[in-house]
Structure 1
Amino acid sequence: MNIAMLLDMASDGFGDRVVVGRTEDGMTPEWLRELSAGGARAVRSAGADAIIYLAVNGPAFQVALFAAARAGVPLVPLNYRLGSAQLDALLANHPRALGIADPDQADALRRAGLPAQSPQQWLAAAACAGDDGADFPADPEAPAVLIYTSGTTSAPKGVLLRHHNLVSYVFGTVEFAAADADDAALMSVPPYHIAAVSNALTNLYAGRRVLTLEDFTPSGWLELVRAQRITNAMVVPTMLARIVDADGLDRSVPSLRALAYGGAKMPVRVIETALREWPHVDFVNAYGLTETSSTISVLGPGEHRAAVASDDPHVRARLGSAGRPVPGIELEVRGERDEIVAAGEPGQIWVRGEQVSGEYAGQGSAIDERGFFHTRDHGRLDADGYLYIDGRVDDTIIRGAENIAPAEVEDVLLRHPDVLDAVVVGVPDEEWGQRIEAVVVTRDGIAIDAEQLRAVVRKSLRGAKTPDRITYWPELPRTATGKLVRRDIVTTLTADRKASLG
C-alpha cells in the first residue's frame, strides 16, 4: 500500500476536519489531498525523480510528503543546519530532483543545478497545477522517503524507507479516526527527522490536527500549547529539561493530555520532575530509529506512574527504560558471538518486523538471514521484557582491555541535583588506548568540585569507570533532536589536553 492511501482514507472519513495547522486557517484532508495531487502533477511535469525538502517544518512538508507518494518518487528531507560542503555532497546524489527550500537555503539548490522553490511557492504551484487524475503507484516496495542519518559519529547515510515499512508502522500503532475532533498535536522536531515523517502519517490517520514549532523556547512552547489547546505533544529530552528547569515560567497546560518523548536518553531527574509538575498528563517514552520507521518500543503512561510511585527498585528502574516492543516488533539482545543472551545480560540490540527497513541507499540491506536488523545500540532486556538502552556501539570506550558504556557513567553524574547535562567520552591515550573524560553542565551559579563528582561515580561504579578528568562547559553540542555530537566533544577535549601539555 502507498502512503497516499492513508490520505485518501482520511479524506473519505473526515475530509472537512482541520488536520494540519491552526484551527482558523489550517488544511483539511480534502484540501491536503488536492494539493498533493497538484504537487504530484508538478513533479511528473518536471520529470523529477525525487522531491528535495530543505526547509523548516510546516504544511508544505506534508504536501511534499504526499505529493512524492502520488508521483511515485521519494521525498528527501535534508538537514538545513549542515554546512555547505555537506549539503553539496548530499545534493549531488539527486541531480534530477525537484527542490523546495527556504530562501536562505536556496543557494544550495542552485549550486547543485536544481530549481529552487520556497515553501510558499511550492504550495501555490501545487494549488495551480490541479489533479490530472493519474493513479498513484500501488507498489508497496517503492521508496517513499530517503532520510540521511544525523552523522554524529560518521558521515550521513541515506536510510531508504519503503511504503510498506511506513504503512506497517501506522497500522501497527494507530487506530483509524481514533482522535476526537478537537484533538491537536504539537511537533517540535525538524522535517529531516524520522519522527516528523511518522507523526505526519500517524496523526493524519488518527484524525488529529498537527502543528509544528520549529524555533523552540520553553515559553514559546508553553504559550502555543495553551493558545491552540494542544492535547498531544512530542519533545526531545533537552526540550523537556529546559521547560521544567526554567525559572519564573507559567507551566500550566490544562489542555495537554499526553506527552511523548524520545530521540535521546531522558535523565530520570527530568521525567520525575515533569510527572510531579503535570500529574494529569500521560507520558510516553518512545524508542526507535530511522531504519525502523520510528518507534519500536514504548514505556506507557501507566508504567511511568507505577515506576515513580513504587518502592520496589526493580519497578522504579523502569522509569529509565524504553519500555516494551510495539505490536509487530521482535527484539533480541545478542552477545559477542551472536548468541541471544539471558534476561538482564548486556549485549547488542537486534530488531525484526515489517516496519523495519534496515536499508541504505547505494549500500543495500543490512538485514541478516533471519530478518533482524542490528540497531548498533547496546542494551538489555529484563525478565519482564523491558528494554534498557546503554548507548551506541560506536560510543563504547575501550580503556585497556575493558569496554565501558558511557551511558552507565552519565546516569550516575545526572543523578546529582545540580548537574543539568553530562557526557562521557573516550579520548585517545598512549598508555590505555582511551581515557575516560566527562563534560558536565551545572545549574547557573553552582560550582561542583570535580573530585567530588569523581567520588560519586567511584562509589556507584568501579574505579575503572571513574572519569580521569571532568571539565565544565556552559552547554553540550547536540543536534536539533537532542543527540550528543560526540565527535565534536572528543575533538575539543583532545585539543584542550594538547594545549595544556604544551
Structure 2
Amino acid sequence: MRELVPVSSEEVAERLAAALDGSGPALLPTAPGEAAPPSLTGPVKEEIALVVATSGSTGHPKGVLLSAAALRASAEATHARLGGPGAWLLALGAHHIAGVQVLVRSLLAGEEPGVVDTSHGFRPDAFADAARSVLDRPGRHYTSLVPTQLVRLLADAGAGLEALAAFDGLLLGGAAAPAELVERAREAGVAAITTYGMSETCGGCVYDGVPLDGVRVRLGEDGRISLSGPVLASGYRGASNAAFADGWFHTDDLGRIEPDGRLTVLGRADDMIITGGVNVAPALVERVLCAEPDVLEACVVGLPHPEWGQLVAAAVVPADPATPPSAQRLRALVGARLGGPCAPKRIDIVAALPLRGPGKVDRRSLAEMLINRER
C-alpha cells in the first residue's frame, strides 16, 4: 500500500513528479481553505498516484483513484492530438482534474507551466500577464479554460483575448460549451477545441467529438455514454464502483453519434426534463438561447408543476444588463426551432449562474433559487 497525503492545490505542482514516478506519496489535492474529506484519506494501492475529490451532482464526496499510467496516457494522447508537446498556461485550480492535467502535460513536456493569478477571481488582464511568460518561449503553446472564462475573455475583447488567440490550442471543458460560444471564439482567432470527459477519464478524452487515441466510446440502448481506454480511473473511494464494469466507465450522460461519427453530448440523464409526457433535453434549449447575441449565458432546469409534472424554466444572463433580452422573443425562438414543449414557460433574467466545480452550473441550486423567487 502507498501513503496518501492531502495537499493544497498550490502544493500539487511541487509534489506531482514524485507522485507520478513513485518516489513520493500519492496526492489528495484540496480546494483553497478546505480540508480533505476524512472518508477519502488513508493508504491506497501502489499504482495510484492521485485521488481527485468530487461530489458531482450528488453532494456526497467520493474519491476518483487515478494511476500514474492513466494520467500519463491522457497527457500523451492530448499532445499527440494537439501536434506535439508544448508550454502550458495553468488557469484552473489544481484540485480539479483539468488543472492537474495541465501540470502532468507540463512535466512530460519538460516545461515549467505559467500560472494565472486567480486569487481575486479570473480576470482577463491577469490572464494576459501570465500568458506572456509562456508565449515568449519557442515551440507550441497551450492552455485550458472553462466556458465561463472564455465568455469573460470574449466580452472584454482586450489584451486577454489577444493573448488567447496566440495559443496553438485552447482546450475548452469542465462544462458544456455552447456551439455559438466556440464559433465566436474561432472567429476571434482562438484555436478552441471542445473536450468531453471527467475525473474518471483523467479529464477530457473526446476532443471535438472524436475520441483520443486508445479511447473508445459506445452508447447504450437508452443513449447513455460509456467510455473505455488507458485513461480510465481505477475506481472510486467512498462510493460504489458499479459504474466501472468490464473495462468500461458507464456515465450518466446521454449522447448521440452524428453521421460523421462524432459524439454529441446531450447532457446528463437526470437533467432531462419530462413535461406533459415529452422529454426535453436542457442542453438543446440552452444552445438556442445562447445563440442570441444579447444572451451571455443560459441554463435550463425543470421545476415541479402540478399539471405537467415539470415546467421548463430558463435562467438567462444578459450580455448587457441594461438591455436584457425579451423573454417572449426567446420563448418564440426555442419553440420555432425545437417545438412548443421545449419553449421555456418561465424565463428569469439573472446576474450570474450559480457554479460548482470548474465552471459547471449548479443546476440544483439554480432550481432552488428559481423556486424561492416565486415565494
Same fold (TM over 0.5): yes
Q: Which residue of the other structure, out of 14, 18, 22, is the alignment partner of 1:67?
A: 18
Alpha-carbon distance, 1:478 to partner:
1.7
Deviations 1:95-142 (A, max 9, x none): x69xxxxxxxxxxxxxxxxxxxxxxxxxxxxxxxxxxxxxxx9x8x62
Whether contact under 8 Å (1:153, 1:487) holds in the other structure is no
Q: Does 1:202 align with 2:79?
A: no
Whether contact under 8 Å (1:333, 1:350) holds in the other structure is yes
Alpha-carbon distance, 1:439 to partner:
0.3
% identity of equivalent residues: 33
Q: Does 1:474 align with 2:351?
A: yes
Q: Does 1:398 align with 2:307?
A: no
Whether contact under 8 Å (1:400, 1:432) holds in the other structure is yes
**Cα gap change, 1:255 to 1:416, in 2 (>3 Å):** closer
Whether contact under 8 Å (2:228, 2:247) holds in the other structure is yes
Alpha-carbon distance, 1:404 to partner:
1.7
Moved more, 185-194 or 152-161: 152-161
Distance 1:430 1:495 in 2: 17
Aligned 1:20-419 pairs, distance under 5 A: 49-55=3-9, 57=10, 60-69=11-20, 70-71=22-23, 73-80=25-32, 87=35, 90-91=37-38, 93-94=40-41, 142-174=47-79, 183-215=86-118, 216-229=122-135, 231-246=141-156, 251-253=161-163, 255-278=166-189, 281-299=190-208, 323-336=209-222, 347-357=223-233, 359-363=235-239, 365-367=241-243, 369-419=245-295
**Cα gap change, 1:251 to 1:296, in 2 (>3 Å):** closer
**Cα gap change, 1:171 to 1:447, in 2 (>3 Å):** closer
Letter in 1 for 2:66: L
Whether contact under 8 Å (1:51, 1:64) holds in the other structure is no
Deviations 1:347-406 (A, max 9, x none): 111111122126111445335654221121111111222111111122111223332211
Aligned residue in 2 for 1:319: none
Distance 1:72 1:350 in 2: 33
| Structure 2 residues without counterparts, runs of 5 or longer | none
Whether contact under 8 Å (1:296, 1:329) holds in the other structure is yes
Whether contact under 8 Å (1:358, 1:365) holds in the other structure is no
| Structure 1 residues without counterparts, runs of 5 or longer | 1-46, 98-136, 300-322, 337-346
Distance 1:376 1:418 in 2: 32
Whether contact under 8 Å (1:189, 1:214) holds in the other structure is no
**Cα gap change, 1:270 to 1:67, in 2 (>3 Å):** same
Letter in 1 for 2:69: H
Letter in 2 for 1:91: P
**Cα gap change, 1:153 to 1:431, in 2 (>3 Å):** farther
**Cα gap change, 1:274 to 1:487, in 2 (>3 Å):** same
**Cα gap change, 1:174 to 1:184, in 2 (>3 Å):** closer
Distance 2:56 2:261 in 1: 30
Alpha-carbon distance, 1:428 to partner:
1.7
Distance 2:252 2:65 in 1: 17
Whether contact under 8 Å (1:377, 1:393) holds in the other structure is yes
Alpha-carbon distance, 1:61 to partner:
1.5
Aligned residue in 1 for 2:298: 422
Q: Does 1:493 align with 2:365?
A: no
Distance 1:153 1:298 in 2: 26
Distance 1:214 1:484 in 2: 23
Distance 1:329 1:199 in 2: 19
Alpha-carbon distance, 1:477 to partner:
1.2
CA RMSD, Structure 1 to Structure 2 (Å): 2.7
Q: Which residue of the other structure, out of 336, 339, 342, is the alignment partner of 1:459?
A: 336
Q: Secondary structure at the match of 2:356?
A: coil
Distance 1:194 1:252 in 2: 27
